[in-house]
Copies of this chain bind each other. A is one copy, B any other.
């Protein structure tokens, strides 16, 4: 209802995609929608509410569509297992922040209280219960997993994982090797380009093992 609001939010998304989040001003948005800046306040309480609305719109794209494949290509001939559903959600999250890098930060700052965000949490709860995690541990593990997944997405989107993009020799150029024994030990592995898709997969595998471990330990 009131498609006007969605129209405004989508215009804001478009500006952010094209020119970055800081280009999203009430004035620029108003111009794009073809209206005076003040008219926006009919449909959006605040600039903060505008940002909330923008992430809300993205989150709805993150959820598995009803009766479809869960978001990562596992067709629904058979029911996906708990780890497939977890993976699907994680990949959907990363896909969103790859398409909209500016959004990664907002996922951390804006509390996840929209209905779609709650639904995403619910999917993780169910997956963990099905994995055999004791119910008392489920909320903690949900927070751990979502924190890591959103953190990975935000790190990738902000370039935190690839500081070498600016300077090929990367980080350790600035300090004498003697002060960095860890870097010396790891040595050549630091010079390889990082395949973040493979790394994300390996991370999710580690998290899967962690969930299985928590289930195996049971109550204690």
Chain A residues in the interface with B (C-beta under 8 A): 104-105, 108-109, 111-113, 115, 117-119, 121-127, 129, 135-136, 138-140, 143-144, 147-148, 150-152, 154-155, 158-161, 163, 166-167, 171-172, 174-175, 179-183, 185-187, 189-190, 194, 199, 202-203, 206, 209-210, 213-214
Q: How far is the CB of A154 from chain B (nearest CB, A)?
A: 5
Given A119-B180, A144-B203, also A154-B108 (CB < 8 A): yes
Contact A151 B159 (CB under 8 A): no
Q: How far is the CB of A33 from chain B (nearest CB, A)?
A: 25
Q: How far is the CB of A180 from chain B (nearest CB, A)?
A: 5
Given A171-B118, A175-B118, also A126-B160 (CB < 8 A): no
Q: How far is the CB of A160 from chain B (nearest CB, A)?
A: 6
Q: Tell me the complex Cα distance, A117–B160, Å.
A: 12
Provide the residues of chain B in CB contact with A161, threshold 8 Å: 143
Provide the residues of chain B in CB contact with A179, threshold 8 Å: 119, 122
Given A182-B121, A206-B210, A209-B213, also A163-B111 (CB < 8 A): yes
Provide the residues of chain B in CB contact with A118, threshold 8 Å: 171-172, 174-175, 180, 183
Q: Tell me the complex Cα distance, A112–B143, Å.
A: 25
Q: How far is the CB of A27 from chain B (nearest CB, A)?
A: 18
In this complex, which of A117, A123, A183 has the most chain B Cβ atoms within 10 angstroms of its Cβ? A183
Contact B148 A144 (CB under 8 A): yes
Contact B112 A160 (CB under 8 A): yes
Q: Tell me the complex Cα distance, A138–B117, Å.
A: 33
Provide the residues of chain B in CB contact with A183, threshold 8 Å: 118, 121-122, 125
Contact A209 B206 (CB under 8 A): no
Q: Tell me the complex Cα distance, A166–B172, Å.
A: 44
In this complex, which of A105, A136, A148 has the most chain B Cβ atoms within 10 angstroms of its Cβ? A148
Q: Tell me the complex Cα distance, A218–B106, Å.
A: 38
Q: A111: which of B123, B151, B160, B194 is its contact (CB, 8 Å)?
A: B160
